[in-house]
Amino acid sequence: MQYRTSFVLFTFSQFAITFLDFVGILVLFANVDSLAGWSLAEVAFLYGIANLAFGLADVFVSPVENVQVAIRAGTFDQILLRPVSPMLQIVTDGFSARRLGKLAQGALVFGFAVAAVNVDWTAARVAMTLLAVLSASTIFGALWVATSCVSFWWVEGREAANAITYGGSFLAQYPLGLYGPWLRRGLAYAVPVAFANYFPATYILGRSDRLGAPSWIAFASPVVAVAVAALSALAWRIAVRHYRSTGS
Amino acid sequence: MIEAENLEKRFSVLRKAGRVRRAREDVVAVAGVTFTIAAGEMVGYIGPNGAGKSTTIKMLTGILVPTSGRATVAGIDPTRRRIEVARRIGVVFGQRTQLWWDLPLRDSFDLLRHVYRVGAEQHRRDRDELTELLDLAPLLDVPVRQLSLGQRVRGDLAAALLHDPEVLYLDEPTIGLDVVSKARVREFLAARNRERGTTVLLTTHDLDDIERLCSRVMIIDHGRLLYDGALATVADRLGEDRVLVVDLAESGAALNVPGARVVSVEGPRQRLAFRRSEVTAAALIAAVSAVAEIVDLSIEEPDIEAVIRRVYAGELTL
């Protein structure tokens, strides 16, 4: 915390940028009453879970993308020489409290949505909400890890990988019914962000527009999250074994 | 302590083949090397650039996964159980530092204590000992990026040995160091090996390093071991062929002196190859001055890469 002012300004600007992002949704709702049948509070609920979870993943997992820098510079050699998991070393080395701004905005919108939605907060729904936030953070975190693996084969692959992480979290901010069938399938099966917030939200908010999916799908999120995390951990292991080092 | 069995590493690289087409090509960096290094040995690993020295070391540390073959370090496979191996080895790459660039040495050492989970008491004792032996006391509070190369290498050595590893890998530890720094590093390594029985595998371009530290040497080129054995044999062989360079008072035809062969004539400068076992330098100089006036002279020792190339080409057998 050497540069206090810079830290405060950066965190605030992160907060402001993401906050303006939500203002966009408010403007949208000034003109329409619903998006794909979802009210403002309900969309805010989706958006809140997405950004809260993405913010958590951003703070704790996203520094893993720095692996690209380490691979290019060859400093990944040193990381592999120390008796600590490479993932842990990269993530702790790149930790930055500045990313908290984004997380704060997500938490704020989430808080607003929880207060505004018309939901009978039974124990099951509260538990489901917590599980949804956890599963969503796990899914976003797993996406960061999986896409960072690209760097081991293709050092310049970072931008393509960002399309999946940032793109996925962006699409998760709106109801799935808004998208065409191919995009919906992609968000359910390929980059499973629909499980991060949409399916749990249909249960919590008592909505039936699961787009043909069975009703139990709302409870599948933790399973999907664990599966995606396991797959990305496997991808990471394979990637580390393929590390080619640099000439020296 | 260190075993390599048919250790092989291939890289596939993409080469340009036409405007957009890329051809996949296999490059063999290490082509099946086998050796065993006993505990407490100090072995020199030499070879020209690109011979496969660093690649071998990277496989023995777990950085690179071998394409085929097997390695064990202290009985552990570095590919499968890299983290366990990491606790038992120390590594210094002369070309790049393991230390934290912006931190003073003291903080780097402290961080390493936590990384390797060394007890506070033991850490303090080992750190103080290394600080004294490597003369680091005045440098402990200087950020690593402000250290000179020689200072940094000493810092790196201390950092690699703080957790008292059984095996020490050194990849060109004396590269770019001045004579005094080199001597100090060598002295330290010899003492460490003698007193703690640390096994050392050392790659270098500097034959002096090997001569002063290792009784055994392995020569590698094009990924293959060409020689593995006593240094004395190599040293004799290496030191045998020398070149006498004489600047004569007048240009002239190639000299004809017994025991030497003129390799080149450049105006008044002539180069004569001779063998130490056949004629002494003094006798040769006397023979030359008997037929021509010498203005200046020097003797060239053979350089290691040239000799290794000749070994590889089958011209020399060790």
Of A81, A241, A248, the CB nearest to B95: A248
Of A241, A243, A248, the CB nearest to B54: A248
Compute the nearest-CA separation of A81 from chain B (Å).
6
pLDDT of A94 strictly over 90:
no
B83 to chain A: nearest residue by CA? Answer: A83
* Nearest-neighbour CA in chain B from A78: distance (Å): 6
Type of residue found at B64: L
Please state the rounded mean pLDDT for residues B184-194: 89
More confidently predicted of B304 and A196: A196
What is the rounded CA–CA span in Å between residue B308 and residue B315? 10
pLDDT at A187: 87
Q: Is residue B314 very low, low, confident or very high in pLDDT (cuts 50, 70, 90)? A: low
- The partner residues of B270 in beta bridges, in order of sequence, read B246, B265
Å from A10 to nearest chain B CA?
A: 23
- Does residue B288 sit in the same domain as residue B209? no
Reported as half-sphere exposure (CB side, CA atoms, 13 A), residue A191 has a value of: 23
Higher-confidence position of A246 and A243:
A243
Q: Over 80: is that where the pLDDT of B152 sits?
A: yes
Residue of chain A with shortest Cα separation from B118: A83
In order, the DSSP letters of B261-287 are EEEEEETTEEEEEEETTT--HHHHHHH
Mean pLDDT of chain A: 87
CATH of the domain at B286: 3.30.70
Question: For residue B54, which residues of chain A lie inside 8 Å, CB to CB?
Answer: 247-248
Q: Which residues of B4-20 are buried (b: 16+ CB within 10 A; e: fewer)?
A: beebbbeeeeeeeeeee
Of A83, A245, A247, the CB nearest to B115: A83
User: Average pLDDT in the A11-31 region?
Assistant: 83
* Mean per-residue pLDDT, B161-182: 88
**Chain B CB within 8 Å of residue A85 CB:** yes
- Tell me: pLDDT of B26 over 90: no
Among B79, B86, B117, the residue with its CB nearest the CB of A81 is B86
In whole angstroms, what is the distance from residue B112 CA to residue B136 CA? 17
B228-241: average pLDDT = 73
Strand order in the sheet with B68-73: B22-37, B2-16, B68-73
Torsions phi, psi of B241, nearest 5? -85, 120
Average pLDDT score over residue span A219-224: 92
In this prediction, residue B35 has a pLDDT band, given cuts at 50, 70 and 90, of very high
User: What is the reported pLDDT for B64?
Assistant: 92
Chain B residue numbers touching A244 (CB-CB < 8 A): 11, 64
Reported for B117-120, long-range contacts at CB under 8 A and 24+ positions apart, including other chains, are B117/A83, B118/B162, B118/B163
Q: Which residues in chain A are closer than 8 Å to B113, comparing Cβ atoms?
A: none
pLDDT at B318 over 60: no
The pLDDT of residue B308 is 64
pLDDT at B279 over 90: no
Q: Does B68 touch chain A (CB under 8 A)?
A: no
pLDDT band at A141 (very low <50, low <70, confident <90, very high): very high
Q: Is B307 within a domain?
A: no
Alpha-carbon distance of A26 to A230, in angstroms, equals: 37
Tens-place pLDDT, residues A36-49? 888 888 999 999 99
Domain assignment present for residue B318? The answer is no
Assess A248–B contact: CB distance below 8 Å, yes or no. Answer: yes
User: Which pLDDT belongs to residue B317?
Assistant: 61
Contact map slice: A 55-74 vs B, CB within 8 A: 74
Q: Which residue of A has its CA nearest to B61?
A: A81
Amino acid type, A7: F
> Does B161 score more than 80 pLDDT?
yes
Mark yes or no for CB contact B96/A244 under 8 Å.
no
Task: Read off the tokens for A121.
Answer: 């907060």
Q: Which residue has the higher pLDDT, B301 or A89?
A: A89
Q: Starting at the edge strand that comes first in sequence, how are the strands of the sheet with B269-275 ordered?
A: B260-266, B269-275, B241-248, B294-300
Asked if B77 has any chain A CB less than 8 Å from its own CB, the reply is: no
Q: Is residue B8 part of a domain?
A: yes
Pick from B177-186, B209-218, B297-306: least confident: B297-306
Q: Quote the domain boundaries for residue B263.
A: 240-301
- pLDDT of res. B294: 87
What's the pLDDT band for B84 if we cut at 50, 70, 90?
very high
Which pLDDT score, from 0 to 100, does residue B208 have? 77
CA A129 to chain centroid, in Å, comes to 16
On the question of pLDDT at A213 being above 60, the answer is yes
Phi and psi at residue A65, in whole multiples of 5°? -65, -20
Query: Does a structural domain hold residue B251?
Result: yes
Range in A110-114, B128-132, B176-180 with the lowest mean pLDDT = B176-180
> Which member of B91, B98, B115 has the closest CB to residue A84?
B115
pLDDT at B256: 81
Last residue of a domain, one of B196, B218, B235: B235
Give yes or no for A2 touching B (CB within 8 A): no
> B292 with B214, same domain?
no
Number of domains into which chain B is organized:
2
| CA of B301 vs chain A CAs: smallest distance (Å) | 27
Alpha carbon of B21: minimum distance to chain A alpha carbons (Å): 17
- Does residue B94 share a domain with residue B24? yes
The model's confidence at residue A248, banded by pLDDT at 50, 70 and 90, is low
Residues B249 and B128 in one domain: no
Span of A34-48, A64-78, A88-102, A128-142 with lowest mean pLDDT: A88-102
Summarize the confidence of residues B111-120 as an average pLDDT.
91
Rg of chain A taking only CA atoms, in angstroms: 19
Determine if residue B40 is left, alpha or beta; phi over 0 gives left, psi from -120 to 50 gives alpha, anything else beta.
left
Interval B237-270: pLDDT, tens: 666 778 888 888 888 788 888 888 888 888 888 8
pLDDT on residue A142: 94
- B291 touching A (Cβ < 8 Å): no
B123 touches chain A (CB under 8 A): no
- Which of B235, B250, B285 delimits the end of a domain? B235
Q: What local confidence, expressed as pLDDT, does residue B57 receive?
A: 93
Report how many Cβ contacts below 8 Å link chain A to chain B.
50
Strand order in the sheet with B199-203: B89-93, B167-171, B199-203, B42-46, B216-221, B224-230
Residue B309 inside a domain? The answer is no
**In chain A, domain spans:** 4-241
pLDDT of A52 reads 92
Q: How far is B33 from chain A (nearest CA, A)?
A: 19
Asked, for residue B153, whether it belongs to a domain, the answer is yes
Does a structural domain hold residue B314? no
pLDDT digits (tens, 9 = 90+) for A164-183: 888 888 888 888 888 888 88
Residues B278 and B175 in one domain: no
B167-171/B199-203 β-pairing: parallel
B258 and B126 share a domain?
A: no
| B39-67 residue pLDDT tens | 999 999 988 788 888 899 999 999 999 99
Q: Which two tokens stand for residue B22?
A: 């890329």
Report which of residues B18 and B258 the model is more confident about.
B258
Q: What is the pLDDT of residue B306?
A: 66
Q: Taking residues A187-192, report their average pLDDT.
A: 86
- Give the chain B residue whose CA is nearest to the CA of A238: B65
Q: What is the mean pLDDT of chain B?
A: 86
- The mean-pLDDT minimum among A58-67, B62-71, B229-238 falls in B229-238
Residue B190 included in any domain: yes
Q: Is B63 on the interface with A (CB under 8 A)?
A: yes
- CATH assignment at residue B123: 3.40.50.300
Task: Assess whether B138 and B174 both reside in one domain.
Answer: yes
Q: What is the DSSP string of A97-151?
A: GGGHHHHHHHHHHHHHHHHHS-----HHHHHHHHHHHHHHHHHHHHHHHHHHGGG
In this prediction the ipTM stands at 0.78
End of a domain among B215, B235, B255?
B235
Say which residues have a Cβ less than 8 Å from residue A113's Cβ, sequence separation at least 6.
A41, A42, A44, A45, A47, A48
Chain B residue closest in CA terms to A81: B86
- Choose the mutation target among B53, B55, B58 for the interface with A, i.e. most A CBs under 10 Å: B58
Per-residue pLDDT at B264: 83
Residue range A187-207: mean pLDDT, rounded: 88
